[in-house]
Structure 1
Amino acid sequence: MSEHLPPLREVIKSHELQAKKAFGQNFLLDLNLTGKIARVAGDISDSVIYEVGPGPGGLTRGLLSNGAKRVVAVEMDQRCIPALNQVSEAFENRLAVHQGDAMKSDELELLNLAPNETARIASNLPYNVGTALFVKWLTLEKWQPWYASLTLMFQQEVAERIVAKPNTKAYGRLSVLAQWRGNVRIAMRVPAAAFTPPPKVSSAIIHFEPTEPLDANVQLNELEKVVERAFGQRRKMLRASLKGLGVNAHTLLENANIDPTSRAEDLTVKQFVELALHYQKMRA
């Protein structure tokens, strides 16, 4: 158990695990904090947790101490593997560690879920791939997804973009994708001083639970095209920013009952879905 493990600062020193910018690393060493983050994920006693970028294992310890059935971790930094293997031994091999790139990993193959097992993702995501991983998990073709929830650490600015509402500067592509397919909230904020080394910005934990999409008829790739085009030139009116979609933008907006002088940030997620549905019809 965790009491058999050395403090994380000792682990970092003995394994020479100074954080590297190349891996987007900022380590959490306060086990009270990592335990609190683990509890944001909910009752994990029947869950297999997928963790990306565990580093020396701060959040990993929190997840296992709070009763996770199993943790499957993917770590790109070879230096961290021996430290994580120590965690696995201390927690009766409830931790499986894989060295590799999470962007290229087949999560279901690594998790090897039994029929009655629930999967959740919980990670202090490396800053350099955090948004890309989140989009990967949001844009799975098959929905409902294989995971029951996401509990993820982001830079605070990114977290605020994910939960942003219309008519705000933070509202954009991430907001629409996340809120189209689930319920998302900022569960807690984490000051820069909590990390080693401290980053230049504060961080936040978001908790996402997938739901049925607002309209199951909308195709993911069509919604992404519309949203990307709209926010790609967010200062322009939609009648101008949507011109590159290959259909008459004015007719598209008229069919969706949207004012052509509106801008991307004026539209609700539901309106973006309606726009994508009409775009599909016009392209058919």
Structure 2
Amino acid sequence: MTGKEVLEKFGFYMENEPVSIYPFSPVYRIQTGDQNLVVKRTQKRPQPLVNYTTYLYKEGIKVVVPVKLKMDNPQTIGEETFVVYPFISGTVYTGKDNEIYEAGKLLGNIHRLSPAENEFQLGVYDVYDFTIDEVVESVEDIEKHAKYNNFKLNPELLQERLTQIVSRQEDLQRAGLPMVMTPHDFKANNLIYTPDPYLIDPDNAVWIPRIFDLALALLLFHNEMKTAPDQVFTPKQWAQFLKGYKEYVNLSALELRYWERAMEHVFLDEVMWLMAEVEDWERVSQRKLFASLLALLEDNSAYKLG
């Protein structure tokens, strides 16, 4: 189905095929009357997501929620589900200390508002089944991309490290870590500063261990963001993020104990496949980010929670 056909399902008619404002998935910005809107893909089972984000919005969280239309919003079109959100105007993240601190506050407040149970019936994180074969295949792809781009890599060491992480999955799954509802994928490219950060992409919402969500922010907050630094948070920046986060959240002793393993697991789940994809290697900034991620995997001692 074309972008033009998708927009027509929501009552927006275009002469020409719309152009996505995001390179990795269809995101269409449209102007209709005095409304500036965005049409994008969302979860195939959207109602739990809508109920959750509406709850956050009513609690004062700056997060997009579906706009009211004459047609259903969201709606399933073909094999995909799309949603219409307001377009949020503001400035983008540039790595300033205050931007980092405010982002940490936002994530902390979101986690604070999570019910103790999965009341909105979001999808449940259950990715604890990585295999050695998957690691071997991914490292082979990463090594190939690294060689092509003259990128310094020790593939044997990387494979050994990731294999160790695979062996710890079951223990992590059984640990009984505190869970939260969260929009997840909490990255700089999903925030607009108005001047406070406004979450413009909550569509990966999930019920997940709280420190997994925090680890993802540490590892990939600067991913795919032209105006962000081309590396992970520095220890000083991470301290700024945590300063904001901890205004709302007191982490448990269990979470502190499992933090290092959580970082490693999220690397396995989110970073390994990212580095195995050829597209991201084309940009120098992304290769620099990869280098900093590998360095953090080797030594994460500067990134404590306490």
**Is the structural similarity TM-score above 0.5?**
no
Max radius of gyration: which structure?
Answer: 1
Q: Whose RCO is larger (CA < 8 A, sep 6+)?
A: 2
Give the structure-1-normalised TM-score.
0.29
Larger strand fraction of residues? 1
Give the structure-2-normalised TM-score.
0.28
